Amino acid sequence: MPGGMLWESPPPSQTPTPTNDATHRPPNIVTEASWPNVEPLSTLLGSSEFNPSHWQRVIDQKVILQLLDRFASEDAEERDILKTVLVRVYSKFLSRRAYIRKQNHNVFQRSIYEEEIFNGVAELLKVLDYNIDGFARPVKAEHKQFLIKVLNQLHKPERLENYHAQRTYYILLFFGKDATLAEQVVKGLLMFWPKICTEKLFLQKIEDILYVMEPTQFAKIKCTLFKQIANFECNPHPHVVERALYYWRNDYTLGLIEKNNQTGMPLMLNAPYRAAKEPWDQTTASLVYNALKRFMEINFKPFDRLAFVCQTEREREKKREKCETSYGSDCLCSSWNTSLDCRATLRRVVLPQLRASPFNELFLKFPNVTTATPAQE
């Protein structure tokens, strides 16, 4: 029966389907006459009387390839039926599992590295959801390689929003098998994202991972992560700033900052402090002041000293901008001297206190507060 159901693969799509819901597919898409033939196959595979041993020769690699090729269809209903068929083939034909995984990986690789738009990535990720529970512990090297070199690279394509939810869920399932993999995933995200995709997706993804990440793994990536989040808090787009500041309304992420305040405070405080000086709308301004309040609650003394440093740096930048606006390049020498005087004052007033405090190492790492003398600069 399936041998007579061979269908031609659709041409590569040029307009990706924005959603997997069949009710949202564009009205100009016409269901092709060939794909309903897959429904009898789906019914057959789901029958309690189905005997896989009788169909080994029929459900071969050629049929599996044809199934996978049809996932490029722009018809969401067709892709959903194909997903059901592929899941049932995977569950009933043990000898075909390795081949299905391999060909799935090839489809993902094409989506990552080629210009071809493949609409069925979300559905193929759902197929993987059904088999990850069968992964043994410890996770095999083959599956780890897939996570790092394939699944984690799927954030590169511009159409990530089409399958972001499925991809995130699948990665979290991986962490349920081996939480130590979270470190490598986060490092991969920090390396590429959000140079390619949106900042808000990045922040949502990181927040999801932090909930399942072990403290020992978090300690290895905290500095790079704190810097990236701080950059988002200084973003010119208010929606990005708001999403970043929501971290400080989350008790869990705030607890991570508190436990690592010697690293987090210098990196994270400057961003909301600077943001507080910007003319944001009421919602963003409320989030900014809430973040500053939470920092004060964590530890008031280091907050007070760091706020002084931030304010001084902010005033110096304003003087430099005003000078350049008024006098152009002629003011550079004067601006530089002002900067030296400012830094010298910081060293004379602040550093003696810091050396005698338990937060010495914390503040010496803060930008532009060094032990160099004006003459050395």
Exposed/middle/buried for residue 109 (C-beta within 10 Å: 0-12, 13-18, 19+): middle
Tens digits of per-residue pLDDT, 91-117?
Answer: 888 888 889 988 988 888 888 887 667
pLDDT tens, residue by residue, 192-238: 765 555 777 888 888 888 888 888 888 888 888 888 888 887 777 88
**Is the confidence at residue 85, as pLDDT, over 50?**
yes
Distance of CA 31 to the CA centre of its chain: 35
Q: 314 vs 363, which has greater pLDDT?
A: 314
Residue 371 has pLDDT above 50, yes or no: no
pLDDT surpassing 50 at residue 339: no
Mean pLDDT (the chain) is 73
| pLDDT tens digits, 262-273 | 776 677 766 666
**Which pLDDT does position 367 carry in this prediction?**
46
Backbone φ/ψ region at 368: left (φ over 0), alpha (ψ -120 to 50), beta? left
* pLDDT for the residue 307: 66
- Residues contacting 293, CB < 8 A, separation 6+: none
Q: Residue 367: exposed, middle, or buried by beta-carbon count in 10 A (0-12, 13-18, 19+)?
A: exposed
Place of tokens 């430099």: 320
Q: Residues 245-291: pLDDT tens digits?
A: 888 778 887 788 778 777 766 777 666 666 666 667 778 778 877 77
**Residue 152 burial by Cβ neighbours in a 10 Å radius (0-12, 13-18, 19+):** buried
Tell me which range, 14-18, 38-42, 115-119, 145-149, is most confidently predicted by mean pLDDT: 145-149
Best CA proximity match to 186, nearest among 213, 146, 157, 159: 213
pLDDT at 157: 76
CA distances from 295 to 267, 301, 309, 319 (A): 12, 10, 15, 28
Structure tokens at 318: 């304003």
Range name among 126-130, 190-194, 297-301, 370-374 with the lowest pLDDT average: 370-374
CA distance 278 to 284: 10
Q: Looking at residue 49, what DSSP letter applies?
A: T
Residue with tokens 């032990």, as numbered in its chain = 371
